């Protein structure tokens, strides 16, 4: 009998991208539902049956259970498929820092995009929106700097020599505003790692299918 597939909601380039990359490294079949909630209500409504937050990623497990929250999904996948080696396990000395930085990317950085994608959610004039956009970009840059300063030195990937879900997560989120060229300047240690993950042969198909390196992709932001 074929392995029941996961169903992953989220358009290319969204937070569903690292989840897709993890599933491909695991070798798990996945059905894709491309939804771009930042494009408006008609897209958001497609998420109502699975996520009242109207956000992606959403992963429907083979059991039918629904998972949301990118960090939780990635950690769950890594734990569920330990043979893929995508995270330090509960008894591993690197586990504490792994959980710390997964939560940091989600809580301190990814959460900023709720307001960045539509600054009118927190600002009531075009001028105020511009301030929110600018300050949230600065806050994201500061968070990358803080994280970078605390990454171990001399490892191939962020927490060691094995590519894991934290690497996938940072590689994708660092492509969003304020964009990669700024990320390289703010986070030189992590810059080496994300370039390595961009070029990882096992991920060529994932990036091509879900977040292609189209001409001019490596832009700068504020």
Ligand X SMILES: N[C@@H](CCC(=O)N[C@@H](CS)C(=O)NCC(=O)O)C(=O)O
Residue numbers of the site for ligand X (CB under 6 A)?
14-15, 37-38, 54-57, 69-71, 106, 110, 113-114, 117
| Measured distance CA(65)–CA(149) in Å, rounded | 38
DSSP state of 120: G
> Which residues make Cβ contacts (< 8 Å) with residue 217, sequence separation at least 6?
175, 180
Q: How far is CA 138 from CA 134, 143, 200, 222, in A?
A: 6, 9, 29, 8
Give the shortest CB-44-to-ligand X separation in angstroms.
6
User: Whose CB is nearest to ligand X?
Assistant: 55
157 close to 198: Cβ distance less than 8 angstroms: no
Nearer to ligand X, 11 or 197 (CB): 11
Q: CB 83 → ligand X: shortest distance, Å?
A: 25
- The radius of gyration of the chain's CA atoms, rounded to the nearest angstrom, is 17
CB nearer to ligand X: give 100 or 202.
100
Which residue number, 117 or 138, has a Cβ lying nearer to ligand X? 117
Q: Shortest distance, CB of residue 115 to ligand X, whole angstroms?
A: 9
| 97 and 45 Cβ atoms separated by less than 8 Å | no
Pick 121 or 156: Cβ nearer ligand X:
121
Of 139 and 196, the one with the shorter C-beta distance to ligand X is: 139
> To the nearest whole angstrom, how small is the minimum distance from the Cβ of residue 24 to ligand X?
19
Q: How far apart are CA 133 and CA 138, in angstroms?
A: 9
Judged by CB, which is closer to ligand X: 38, or 185? 38
Looking from the CA of 201 toward its CB, the CA atoms found within 13 Å total 0
Structure-derived torsion over alpha carbons of residues 121, 122, 123, 124, reported in degrees to the nearest 10: 70
Output the smallest distance, CB 128 to ligand X, in A. Answer: 19
Residue 93 C-beta: closest distance to ligand X, Å: 26
Phi, psi at 123, each rounded to 5°: -130, 145
């Amino acid at each position: 009998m074929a392995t029941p597939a996961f169903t992953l909601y989220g358009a290319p380039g969204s937070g569903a991208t690292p989840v897709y990359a993890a599933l491909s490294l695991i070798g798990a079949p996945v059905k894709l539902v491309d939804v771009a909630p930042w494009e408006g209500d008609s897209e958001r409504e497609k998420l109502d049956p699975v996520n009242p937050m109207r956000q992606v990623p959403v992963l429907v497990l083979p059991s039918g259970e629904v998972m949301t929250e990118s960090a939780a999904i990635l950690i769950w996948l890594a734990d569920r498929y330990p043979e893929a080696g995508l995270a330090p396990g509960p008894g591993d000395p690197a586990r504490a820092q792994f959980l710390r930085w997964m939560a940091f990317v989600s809580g301190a950085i990814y959460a900023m995009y709720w307001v960045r994608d539509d600054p009118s959610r927190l600002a009531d004039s075009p001028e105020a929106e511009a301030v929110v956009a600018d300050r949230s970009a600065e806050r994201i840059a500061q968070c990358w700097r803080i994280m970078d300063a605390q990454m171990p030195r001399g490892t191939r990937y962020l927490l060691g020599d094995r590519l894991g879900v934290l690497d996938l997560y940072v590689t994708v989120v660092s492509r969003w505003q304020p964009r990669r060229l700024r990320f390289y300047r703010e986070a030189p240690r992590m810059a080496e790692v994300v370039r390595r993950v961009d070029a990882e042969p096992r991920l060529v198909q994932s990036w091509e299918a879900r977040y292609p390196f189209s001409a001019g992709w490596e832009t700068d932001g504020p």
